[in-house]
Amino acid sequence: MRYNPIDPSLFINNRKNLFKHLKPNSLVVLNANDIMPQNADGTMPFRQNSDLFYLSGIDQEETILVLYPDAKEEHLKEILFLKETNEKIAIWEGQKYTKEQAQASSGIKTIYWLDAFKSQFNTLMGQATYVYLNTNEHPRAVVEVQTREARFIEWCKTNYPLHRYERLAPIMHHLRAVKAEIEIELIKKVCEITAKGFRKILPMIKPGIMEYELEAELIREFIRHRSRGFAYSPIIASGANSCVLHYEANDQMCKKGDIILLDMGATYANYSADLTRVVPVNGRFTQRQKEVYNAVLRVMREAMKLLVPGNSLPVYHQEVGKIMTQELVRLGLLDKTTIKNQDPQNPAYKKYFMHGTSHHLGLATHDVGDMYRKFEPGMVLTVEPGIYIREACLGVRLENDLVIRENGVEDLMATIPIEAEEIEDLMHSV
């Protein structure tokens, strides 16, 4: 793997925590993600199923993880089924996991090749009562292809129709929302890589440079530091593009007088970073740009104070909306009459700040977690307020990644420049 080995105690403990949430005599099955096809014989880069990785640390296609904590025999409590390598695969694709390597990475002692799955699974199903199957459940997910997990669910229910089936996703959402310290260290690592990319391109930003040139330098810097590249499609948005929330074309020239919004993050060991900064193309903010920038920065810092144990996303977002409303009044974008007559279900501030302030971060950029769950120490969230003034072609969003601790937050991006004057000084330092 491109990333350094991960302490297998992470995956061992993750499995132990999962077992506490299962019904008696339950079997758990997780499948690796598919390698998705492109055109002709092309394929997309492989990205492991986050839940399978969380429980095993195995980063290889066609992997199946079977967990049966109440099995009568110790060696059947945790089983990995792997694609068996051979000389042809080694020549064309490279070396796959050996059984010994899989044991070392996962802490799982029982490893079989895939061709043993059906017979072993049939034996276990003859003993189990409940079967937990996995699905990709996320409020923002749009799944229009049949995944490997979906195909397995069909096969399993057809061949074993009388078992009692359960959803694994709610349990995984609960467990993954609170990160272990090993996970937090991995997220710190990917934040450091992301910081290197931002600092690399900052002196390059000037009138005439293309958005895609900055994208190219970012991915180069990320890969130089053992990242696989971007955690998500980067947003390199200058001028009016800064007001397009999910702008991805990155094909315009950066012009004098404009700002450029950079929303990007690296990935490392399957963990994501998510950073947003706004930079003046010519190295100096105009007075109005700086006013809007500092307003967003004030909202961001006030929002950070609300990320404390016991709060929740709905209450938090409501409070951030009030803070944003005050800043929009100060900027002259809202007035008291508009606020007085606003629809409580569609507050006036949403004209200029129409997205959420925070989301979970981890093995996915928009990581899993129950939005109604109270904040707990160990949760990793972003903070990303923004103000978008389309008529002025001015969009400002600032974003850092933070860990909730017992007595506040730990800002994982605290060393990345964010003050307007600091950014200006850095742009003029070379």
Q: Name the DSSP letter for residue 276.
A: E
Question: Which residue out of 59, 215, 399, 401 is catalytically annotated?
Answer: 399
Q: Which of 15, 47, 359, 360 is catalytic?
A: 359
For the question of residue 61 being annotated catalytic, the response is no
Which uninterrupted H or E stretch holds 294?
helix 287-306
- Rounded to 5 degrees, φ, ψ at 198 are -65, -45
C-beta neighbour count of 46 within 10 angstroms: 13
Q: Is 397 a catalytic residue?
A: yes
Q: Is 384 annotated in the active site?
A: yes
Backbone phi, psi, residue 280, to 5°: -75, 130
Q: At a CB cut-off of 8 Å and minimum separation 6, what does 41 contact?
A: none
- Is 399 catalytic? The answer is yes
- Among 34, 61, 221, 384, the one annotated catalytic: 384
Secondary structure letter of residue 389 according to DSSP: E
Question: Which residue is catalytic, options 34, 215, 258, 263?
Answer: 263
Catalytic annotation present for 355: yes
Q: Is 263 marked active-site?
A: yes
How crowded is residue 245: how many other Cβ atoms within 10 Å of its Cβ?
A: 15
| Set 78, 274, 302, 401: catalytic member | 274
Q: What is the total residue count of the chain?
A: 430
Per the annotation, the verdict on 251 as an active-site residue is: no
Q: Is residue 343 among the annotated active site residues?
A: no
Query: Which residue in 41, 74, 87, 406 is the catalytic one?
Result: 41
- Catalytic residue (one of 51, 352, 388, 401): 388
The verdict on whether 274 is a catalytic residue reads yes
Catalytic residue among 2, 330, 355, 428: 355
Sign of the dihedral defined by the CA atoms of residues 75, 77, 59, 154, in that order: positive
Query: Catalytic pick from 246, 288, 390, 428?
Result: 246
Exactly one of 366, 373, 405, 411 is catalytic; which is it?
366
Torsion sign across C-alpha atoms 351, 356, 358, 361: negative
* 317 belongs to the catalytic site: no
Active site residues: 41, 246, 263, 274, 355, 359, 366, 384, 388, 397, 399
